[in-house]
Amino acid sequence: MSLGESQLTWTHPTGRVPEKVLIVALGPTKLDLLEMTTGHEPPAVVMDVDEVWGINAGCNHLAGRVAYDMLWVMDHLDGEARRLPRYADLIERWAERHKSPIMTSQAGFWWHDRPYVHEFPLQWVVDKVGSVNAYFHNSLPYLLAYALCIGSKELVIWGADYSHEASKRREEDRANAEYWIGFY
């Protein structure tokens, strides 16, 4: 796939163009990743990355002490704060502790002026991939398309367990995630 030119400009919030990104979703295998990365000689495939992106309640790992380069909360942040105030507080404490950006679908009134909150550049991504390819259903597909658009070359994904027997809940976007992985 060749990415189109967009009339809009966008700069990745970390200021880098990460070639290799580790994405940590919330499925059961995230625990395997934690175990693997805390050993004496963790595998290079998960350690030699340019950025680590966490999804949603990933800010809660180890009481917010996991320092992702970027946290993705692809939900309306004001809605999340109304529905789950403690979760919103944990997101805010995580961001203040790590000074790392949060990408969201919609910041809302309460979050819009926070310098670490960035709304997903949907139009920029659609322009880059072409509107016919713009197929999004849930968080991980947005991350995959975004990584493609900023120029990331390799993704390592943990916790995106669409059919793991230990999953408490099945995500509905497996086909959508597979669609975007096909572009890599």
Residues with pLDDT less than 50, the chain: none
pTM: 0.88
pLDDT of residue 23: 93
pLDDT of residue 131: 82
pLDDT of residue 117: 94
Cα 180 from Cα 184, distance rounded (Å): 7
pLDDT of residue 2: 57
pLDDT in tens, 26-77: 887 877 888 888 888 988 888 999 999 999 888 787 666 778 999 999 988 9
Residues 54-92 as b or e (16 or more Cβ within 10 Å = b): bbbebbbbeebebebbbbbbbbbbbebbeeeeebbebbb
pLDDT of residue 67: 80
Strand, coil or helix: 79: helix
